[in-house]
Amino acid sequence: MSRLLLVSNRLPVTVKSDKDGVSVVRSAGGLATGLRGPHERSGGVWIGWPGDVSRLTPPQRASVEAQLAELRCVPIQLSASEVSRYYEGYSNQVLWPLCHYFIERIPRQDRDWDVYRKVNERFADLVARQYQPGDTIWVHDYQLMLVPAFLRARLPQARIGYFHHIPFPSSEIFRSLPHRNELVRGLLGADLIGFHTHTYVRHFSSTLMRLLGLETVVDRVEHEGREVRLGAFPMGIDAQSFENLAKEPAVLEEVRMHREKSAEQRLVLGVDRLDYTKGIPRRLVAVQRLLEREPAWRGRLRFIQVAVPSRTGVEDYATYREQVDELVGRINGLYGSVHNVPVHYLYRSFNEKQLAALYRAADVMLVTPTRDGMNLVAKEFCAARPDEDGVLVLSEFAGAADELGDALIVNPYDVEGMADALETALDMPQEERRTRMRILRARVKEYDVHWWVRSFLDTLEATPLAPPRVEPAGAEVALERMRHAERLLLLIDYDGTLVPFAPRPELAAPDAALLDLLQRLATRPNTRVHIVSGRTKETLEAWLGTLPVGLHAEHGLWSRPAPGQEWKVLEGVPTDWKALVRPVLEAFAARVPGALVEEKSASLAWHYRQVDRVFGARQALELRLHLGEVFAQGPLEVLPGDKVVEVRARGVNKGRVVGTVTERMAPGTLVVALGDDRTDEDLFAALPEGSLAIHAGGKRTRASYRVNGPTEVRQLLSALLPG
C-alpha cells in the first residue's frame, strides 16, 4: 500500500487552549473517521490548516506542532487576510453559491481570486515537499480546485486524486464564472476526479466540452497527453458508530425524555448548518401550511429545528439567520399556545450522542435542501434507527436522493407538496414505515464511509499513471538527432501540424512564411520532404504544387512523389459506397447548423468545427454510431478527426505512404514524421525502427516527442536551416 497524502482545507483536528495549556483534539466527523484508518496505516500525512493559532505564544505553538506531528498532520499557516480572502471570500462567497445555483449571491467584484490562487499554490508547494516517489495524493474539495494542476506541474509522475464534496452545477451555471477555465484545468491535473453522483459527473463532462472542447469517452478524458478518469463515489457515513450510539442506554434515556416531553405530540426534526442552501425557510413555511390547512394537527406537532451557526463572518449568513428567526417567530406567534409552541428552534451545535438521541426520537425527519452535494444528516438518521421506524422526507436536490429512493422524495420549492409529504409521513402506517426504513438502512450500512474511501482509492490505484511527458527539452533532443543525421526524410502532415485550424477547410491555405520554410527545407542538403495529408490532391496541388516536395493526398490514396510527376492512385479502392453514405452525412449537416460535408475522390468528411461544441460532439457521436451500425462489417472505416468525422475505404491510411517513400532510401537516412491527429498515428506506427515521431498538440500519441502545435512545429523545422 502506498503512502497516502491527504490534503484538505482544514485538518481533522481542533486546537483548544485553556488555563492548562493547549491541546490538539481529533475531530469526530465521518470523513475524518473514514480516512483516518487508511491514512495512518499507510504511514502518510494529512496536510491542511489547523485553524487560527495566531494568538498562541511561541511555546504553545511549538506544543501544537509537536501534537500535530504525533497525529501525522502537517499544518499550513494562513494569515488572517488569507483566511478571509481565500476561504471566506473566494471559496465561500463565490464557489459555494455558484455550485449550489445561487449565482445572484456572488459579489459583483471578484477580488479574492488572486489570493485563492496563491493559497492553492502554497498548498501544492507544501504537498510537493512532503511527497516521496510512489505516494498517493488525495486532494479534497472546492477550496483546493487548483491544487491538482499545481501538483502535476511539480510532480508529473505522481498519482493524484481529487474529490468534489459539493454539487458540480450544470455547465450553464459554471460557465458564468470569470475564472472557469483555470478552475477546470486545475482539476484536470488529477488522475481521478470524484463526485457524489452521476449527475455531477455529467455536468462536469459537459463543462469540459463547452469550455475546453474536451470529449469524455465513457469515464475518461484526454488532457495534455494524459488520461483523466471521472467517477461517481457517493460518500457514506460511519453507520456502525451511529447505530451503536443509538443503542446506548444513556442515549435511549435521552430519547425517552424527548418523547415524554411530547407524549401527545408527534416529533418532527430538522438538523442543518444554518446555510441558505438547506431550504430552512421553505421547510418552515411547509410546516406552517400544514397547520393552517389541517387544524387537527395544531398542538399535536412539535418541530425541532437544529441550526448550527456557520460562516458567521459572511454577511449573507447573518441576513439568512434574521430571515429564519423571523419566520420561526411568525409561526409560533400564529400557532403557539400558552402551553407549547410548534417550532423549537435551537441555534447551536450538538455532539453526535445528542444528535443520535434526536434522530432516534423523531417521527419524521425533514431534509429539504434546495441543493446539497450529498447530505449526511439524512444517512445518519437512518443509521440511528435500529428500531426500523421513523420516516425520512428528502429533497430531490440532495445528492443522497439518488441512493435513498425509499424516503418520501420532495421538491423543496413546492411548499404545498412538502406539506403533503409531511402529512403522509405523519399518517404512514407502521408496516410501511418499517419496510421503507429497512431498505434505507441496508443501503446506508453497506455503502458507508469505509466503502467510499476504499472504492475511491481502489479506483485511483488502478488508474494508469501519466506517461512520462517529453517536455520541450524532448523536442530539443529530437532536433539534435535531426541535425546530426547524414540524411533526412521528413513526412509532414498539413492541417493542425503546419497550419492552425481554420473555420472552414478552404480557409487554411499556406501563408508565405510556410511556403518559404518548406522550399528551404526541401533544398537543404540531403533532405527530402513529403507532405502526407487527408486533403484532396487538387487542394495540395493548388497550395503546394510548385514546391520541390512529395505530395500524398487523401491519407495516401493519391501520391505524387515529385513535382512534374503524375499523381498515382492506389488500385481497387471502392467508391460506390459514397452514394449511400452521402445522403446520411447531408441529413446530419442539414439538422446541425454550421456543419458541412466535404467530398473527396474516395472519402467523405462531415465537419463540425463551427457547430456549438456540446451539440456538435453529440451529433458526431451519433453519426459515428449510426454509420458504425449500418456499415459494421463493410468495406468502410469511420474515423473521428479534429472536429471532423471521416468515412473512407478500409485499409487506406497514411501508413501506406511510408513503404513507398522509404523503398529506395539511402543508408544513414533518419525518417522523421510530424502529425497532430488520429490519422497521423497510422503514419507513426508504420515508421521503420530508429525513426522519430513527433506529435503536435496535447492528444495521446504513440510518438515519443511532443511539440505544442503548428507554431512550435515551424520553429523546430526552422532550426534545421542555417541562419
Ligand X SMILES: O=c1ccn([C@@H]2O[C@H](COP(=O)(O)OP(=O)(O)O)[C@@H](O)[C@H]2O)c(=O)[nH]1
| CB 675 to ligand L263DTV3: min, Å | 7
Is 683 a residue that touches ligand X (CB under 6 A)?
Answer: no
324 in Cβ contact with 282 (< 8 Å):
no
From ligand X, ligand L263DTV3, none, which one binds at residue 308 (CB under 5 to 8 Å depending on kind)? ligand X
For helices 113-130 and 147-154, angle between their N-to-C axes, nearest 10 degrees:
40
How far apart, in Å, do the first and last CA atoms of the chain sit? 55
Task: Enter the C-alpha cell of residue 196.
Answer: 457524489
Which of 349, 435, 546, 711 touches ligand X (CB under 6 A)? 349
Is 504 a residue that touches ligand L263DTV3 (CB under 6 A)?
Answer: yes
- Number of CB atoms found within 10 A of residue 176's CB: 12
Residues near ligand L263DTV3 (CB under 6 A), total: 23
Distance (Å) of CA 666 to CA 219, 490, 720: 47, 14, 20
Is 643 a residue that touches ligand L263DTV3 (CB under 6 A)?
Answer: yes
| CB 608 to ligand L263DTV3: min, Å | 8
| CB 268 to ligand X: min, Å | 16
Which one-letter amino acid corresponds to residue 444?
Answer: V
Task: Enter the C-alpha cell of residue 116.
Answer: 485563492
Contact mark string toward ligand L263DTV3, 657..686, x via CB under 6 A: --------------------x-x-------
Positive or negative: CA dihedral 115, 31, 201, 134: positive
Residue partners of 226: CB distance under 8 A and separation at least 6: 191, 466, 467, 469, 700
Residue 29 vs 709, nearer CB to ligand X: 29
Q: Describe the strand order of the beta sheet including 216-217 as a list of residue ranges.
A: 73-75, 46-49, 4-10, 136-140, 159-163, 192-195, 226-232, 220-223, 216-217
| CB 92 to ligand X: min, Å | 12
Catalytic site residue 493? yes
- Gap between the Cα atoms of 606 and 591, Å rounded: 13
Is 88 a residue that touches ligand L263DTV3 (CB under 6 A)?
Answer: no
Where helices occur in 530-669 by DSSP H, the ranges are 537-544, 578-591, 613-630, 655-662
Which of 501, 567, 577, 615 touches ligand L263DTV3 (CB under 6 A)? 501
Which listed residue (141, 191, 272, 493) is catalytic?
493
In total, the chain counts a number of residues equal to 723
Which of 102, 350, 501, 615 touches ligand X (CB under 6 A)? 350
Which of 158, 192, 246, 271 touches ligand X (CB under 6 A)? 271
- Gap between the Cα atoms of 610 and 593, Å rounded: 8
Is 619 a residue that touches ligand L263DTV3 (CB under 6 A)?
Answer: no
- Gap between the Cα atoms of 526 and 486, Å rounded: 7
| CB 52 to ligand L263DTV3: min, Å | 54
663 in Cβ contact with 528 (< 8 Å):
no
Q: How would DSSP label each residue in 474-531?
A: HHHHHHHHHHH-SEEEEEE--BTTTB---SSGGG-PPPHHHHHHHHHHHTSTTEEEEE
Give me the residue label for grid cell 419496510: 435
Angle subtended at Cα 587 by Cα 581 and Cα 591, rounded to the nearest 5 degrees: 150
Residue 144 vs 620, nearer CB to ligand L263DTV3: 620
> Per CB under 6 A, which region of 333-341, 410-418, 584-592, 637-645 contacts ligand L263DTV3?
637-645
Which of 35, 306, 644, 687 touches ligand X (CB under 6 A)? 306
For helices 430-446 and 376-383, angle between their N-to-C axes, nearest 10 degrees:
110
Name the 3-class secondary structure at 347: coil
Is 699 a residue that touches ligand L263DTV3 (CB under 6 A)?
Answer: no
Residue 275 vs 495, nearer CB to ligand L263DTV3: 495
Contact mark string toward ligand X, 357..396, x via CB under 6 A: -----------------xxxx--x----------------
Which residues on adjacent β-strands are paired with residue 5?
137
Residue partners of 459: CB distance under 8 A and separation at least 6: 192, 194, 229, 231, 233
Is 30 a residue that touches ligand X (CB under 6 A)?
Answer: yes
| CB 381 to ligand X: min, Å | 10
Residue 376 vs 508, nearer CB to ligand X: 376
Buried-exposed string 67-88: b where 16+ CB fall within 10 A, e elsewhere: bbeebebbbbebeeebbebbbe
Site for ligand X in 658-677 (CB under 6 A): none
Residue 209 vs 400, nearer CB to ligand X: 400
476 in Cβ contact with 719 (< 8 Å):
no
Site for ligand L263DTV3 in 512-541 (CB under 6 A): 533-535
Give me the residue label for grid cell 454550421: 594
Which of 32, 355, 425, 673 touches ligand X (CB under 6 A)? 355
Is 598 a residue that touches ligand L263DTV3 (CB under 6 A)?
Answer: yes
Residue 328 vs 597, nearer CB to ligand X: 328
| CB 611 to ligand L263DTV3: min, Å | 10
> Per CB under 6 A, which region of 65-73, 353-361, 639-647, 689-697 contacts ligand L263DTV3?
639-647
| CB 436 to ligand L263DTV3: min, Å | 54
Is 308 a residue that touches ligand X (CB under 6 A)?
Answer: yes
| CB 551 to ligand L263DTV3: min, Å | 11
Is 607 a residue that touches ligand L263DTV3 (CB under 6 A)?
Answer: yes
Site of interaction with ligand L263DTV3 (CB under 6 A): 493-496, 501-502, 504-505, 508, 533-535, 598, 605, 607, 609, 641-644, 646, 677, 679
Catalytic positions: 493
Site of interaction with ligand X (CB under 6 A): 29-30, 271, 273, 306, 308, 349-350, 355, 374-377, 380
